[in-house]
Amino acid sequence: MTGDEAAPQRGEGFPEFVLAREQALQRSAWLLTGNWALAEDLVQTALARCWPRWERIRDDPEVYVRRVMINTWMTWRRRRWRGETPSDPIPDSAAPGDLAIETSVRLAVRDALAGLTERQRAVLVLRVFDDMTEAAVAQALGCAIGTVKSTAAQALARLRTDPRLADLMERETL
Amino acid sequence: MSDTDTQLRKLLERAVGDPPRHVAVPEVRREFIHRRITQTAAAVVAVIAIGVGGTAVAAHFAGAKGAPAAMAARGVPRYYLQADAAEPGHDPAAYQASEYPDRGAGGGTPVAIRAEQALIRRTATGAITGRFRCPEGTGWWVNQAAAVTNSTFIIGCSEQPAARTPGAGPSQEVLLSVHLTAAGGVAGMAPVPGGHLTRIGAGVISMAAAPNGHEVALAISAGNGRMDIEVLNTATGQRALWRGRPHWKYWGLSLTSNGQELVFTGLPCLGVPRCTSAGSVLAVRPAAQGGSLAGARVIVPHRSSVTAISPDGSVLCSLGLEATVSGPPPAPLAHGVILICTSVKTGNLVGEAYDSRFDRGAAALGLLTADPSGQYLIVHAVTGGKSINGWIRENPATFNQDPANMPSVRLIPLKGNGAALAIETW
């Protein structure tokens, strides 16, 4: 057994972290991938990559895990793995509330995010959705704080002009 | 955070919603182990390639080392095949209900399933990623399906009359291999060598494929109060006949990965009104040899709705319906769906679980399918107006429990649950 394989046995706090944060990580992953199945795969892969290094990162794992998640996602994108494209809605699923409105919001956000560059989307998710500080985002992405600021500004400017989102954002303020 | 940021964040939160599934530590552990194995295997291949083929070949293989994990095969099959019977509540239910003689169903003749189309669904979401019909056209129905790998299925297409009439069974059956794309679409179909069956009486009633894909076993209702089992070698197209005993029904076929062991349920009730025989789970080997099923050995001395043998032949899981579950006092009696896994060698219980949400006296249909690795089981059961459909995450050997404190079956739900569901495999 290698040292890495032994590490998970000593991964004190890892199960608790997964239990506490996997949903939040999946939500961020959905914003990156636009697909729950891929989001689940992404979180699982990121956690599996972090596990051997848990002893080193367990004091503050959040930023490291998110960094691995972003890097993994970018790697998948570079390899142009498309994943599946379901051909049919699921006829037997039930959803509370107004399904049509929720779906239109989801599709509008997903499409708008798809129009951003990888880095813009990553910055937006970490900075706005995950509410990380600019310094933490910079650390997660391995870039300067100034780059985070400018990238976030570009991303927000782009979304502000997106007609699919403008109306929805106004409604959110009401 | 500015107002715009706040608005956007609210919008993002609204769009995201809640994940449909949880990521659990065991999944992460499997992913980690899988990655390690993949990387180690790739490294070994690269080293061998250096020695054998020189640095150019080695560099090629080393380049494949870091393949994205999401593209690699996962433990849980990513897709499953599913088909609804064209006559809900008739085809499979009529057959399965006949296995409950205490309800007076007697020993009715099994009838072949007829499904207009089969769907490929993603395990995680239930999304339909592919669908197909029998390529032969009108009058042909999807009749059986079995998984060979996570992306290859063997299906049976049968030519059957448009309307069911007594004594008018399918005229022929064609076996096809169906290949999936990485995205779960249907990449193509190809005839299985030797897979064109004629003179099949009332049709193919049950089918199993060895995980290596070399053997396919078919329980065929031969007519005249007899059922036979044929084992097809998919490489050579040769078929071996296991001649059934008179008035015995056979169903719930499964094969070990090397195709050696063929396991099935047998019940001496074919054409016997108000049959009260108990039946049993039987096995023959080597499966490709053929012979008489009268010589089959008894693995489990009681009847089961359906069974699945592990790829290595060591563990047999049986799905029982309308079972009576009892344990040492003060464990209560319960009736419902019970999944029992026993050691083939010793007969000892290695795991069991049950779901008691069903009422006694309404059992109608059960499906139990193991994936080619034998690690993940699909369980489907319909009793009256209730049904369950899902898969079990654990290896059956890992849910060994104290009989006095058995847990409910922890099924991960699968989409497409319903009384019409007749074929489901992965």
pLDDT in tens, A2-16: 444 444 455 778 888
> Which has the higher per-residue pLDDT, B70 or B408?
B408
Structure tokens at B80: 């499953």
Q: How many CB atoms lie within 10 A of CB B348?
A: 9
pTM value > 0.80:
no
Contact B303, B265 (CB under 8 A): yes
Angle between helices B25-53 and A36-50 (to 10 degrees): 70
Cis check for the bond before B161: say yes or no (omega within 30 of 0): no
pLDDT band at B1 (very low <50, low <70, confident <90, very high): low
**Which of A81-85, B225-229, B248-252, B253-257 shows the lowest per-residue confidence on average (mean pLDDT)?**
A81-85
Query: Closest approach of chain B CAs to the CA of A68, in angstroms?
Result: 13
Please report residues of A whose CB lies closer than 8 A to that of B12: 31, 109, 128-129
In eight-state DSSP terms, residue B277 is: -
- Cβ separation of B122 and A49 shorter than 8 Å? no
CA distance B17 to B40: 38
Residue B2: is it exposed, middle or buried by C-beta count within 10 angstroms (0-12/13-18/19+)?
Answer: exposed
> What residues of chain B lie within 8 A of the CB of A42, using their CB?
70
When pLDDT is cut at 50, 70 and 90, the band that residue A109 belongs to is confident
Whether residue A92 has pLDDT greater than 50: no
| pLDDT for position B36 | 73
**pLDDT over 70 percentage in chain B:** 69
Residues B354, B339 contacting (CB under 8 angstroms): yes
Give the residue with greater pLDDT, A110 vs A154: A154
Q: Which of A84, A159, A173 to mutate to test the interface with B (most CBs of B within 10 A)?
A: A84
Q: What tens digit of pLDDT does each residue of A129-145 get?
A: 888 899 989 988 889 99
Select from A44, A107, A154, A165 the residue whose CB has the most chain B CBs within 10 Å, as the one to mutate to test that interface: A44
Which chain A residue is nearest to residue B26, measuring alpha carbons?
Answer: A15
C-alpha to C-alpha distance for A90 and A111, rounded to whole angstroms = 20
Portion 43-72 of A in contact with B at CB < 8 A: 43-45, 47-49, 51-52, 72
Write the CB contacts of B319 (distance below 8 Å, at least 6 apart in sequence).
B304, B305, B306, B307, B337, B338, B339, B366, B367, B368, B379, B381
Most confidently modeled of A74-78, B41-45, B146-150, B419-423?
B146-150
Give strand pairing partners of B340: B318, B352
Note the pLDDT of residue A172: 55
B185 vs A contacts (CB less than 8 Å):
84, 87
Q: Is-cis flag, bond preceding A96, omega within 30?
A: no
Q: Do residue B15 and residue A109 have CB atoms under 8 angstroms apart? A: yes
Chain A interface, mutation test: which of B18, B23, B34, B117, most A Cβ atoms within 10 Å?
Answer: B23
Site of tokens 């994205």? B68
**Checking DSSP bridges between strand B291-292 and strand B239-243, what pairing results, if any?**
parallel
Q: What is the pLDDT of residue A34?
A: 83
- Residue B375 pLDDT more than 50? yes
Contacts for A124 with CB less than 8 Å, ≥ 6 apart: A31, A113, A116, A152, A155, A156, A159, B8
Question: In one letter, which amino acid is B63?
Answer: G
Considering only CA atoms, which of B179, B132, B181, B180 is closest in space to residue B157? B132
Torsion of CA A148, A154, A157, A159, to 10 degrees: -90
Residue A81 has pLDDT above 50, yes or no: no
Output the CA–CA distances (angstroms, integers) from residue B400 to B80, B337, B409, in the order listed: 26, 17, 12
pLDDT of residue B393: 62
Q: How many CA atoms lie within 13 A of B392 on its CB side?
A: 30
The count of CB pairs under 8 A between chains A and B is 157
**Cα four-point dihedral sign B227, B271, B170, B88:** negative
Q: A15 touching B, CB under 8 A?
A: yes
pLDDT at residue B248 greater than cutoff 50: yes
Continuous H helices in chain A: 3-6, 14-33, 36-50, 54-57, 61-78, 99-114, 118-124, 134-141, 145-160, 163-173
Highest mean pLDDT out of A75-79, A85-89, B22-26, B110-114: B22-26
- Average pLDDT, integer, range A145-168: 86
Q: What is the dihedral of CA A167, A171, A173, B1, to 10 degrees?
A: -50
**Stretch B106-132: mean pLDDT:** 85
Nearest residue to B381 (alpha-carbon basis) of B55, B93, B35, B52: B93
Strand B140-149 to strand B377-383: parallel, antiparallel, or no bridges (unpaired)?
Answer: unpaired
Residue B417 pLDDT greater than 80, yes or no: no
Number of residues that make up chain A: 174
Name residue, tokens 């207009």.
Answer: B116
Task: Tell me the CA distances in angstroms from B55 to B43, B46, B49, B50, B62, one per residue in order.
Answer: 14, 9, 8, 5, 10
Inter-chain residue contact B3 with A52, CB threshold 8 Å: no
Does the distance separating the beta carbons of B28 and A47 come in below 8 Å?
yes
Interface membership of A31 toward B (CB under 8 Å): yes
Largest separation between any pair of C-alpha atoms in chain A: 58
pLDDT band for position B40 (cuts 50, 70, 90): low
What is the C-alpha separation between B186 and B365, in angstroms, rounded?
Answer: 28
The pLDDT of residue B72: 33
Q: Where does the pLDDT of residue A174 fall: very low under 50, low under 70, confident under 90, or very high at 90 and above?
A: very low
Mean pLDDT, chain A, integer: 78
Q: Is the ipTM of this complex over 0.85?
A: no
pLDDT bracket for residue B385 (50, 70, 90): low
pLDDT at A114 over 80: yes
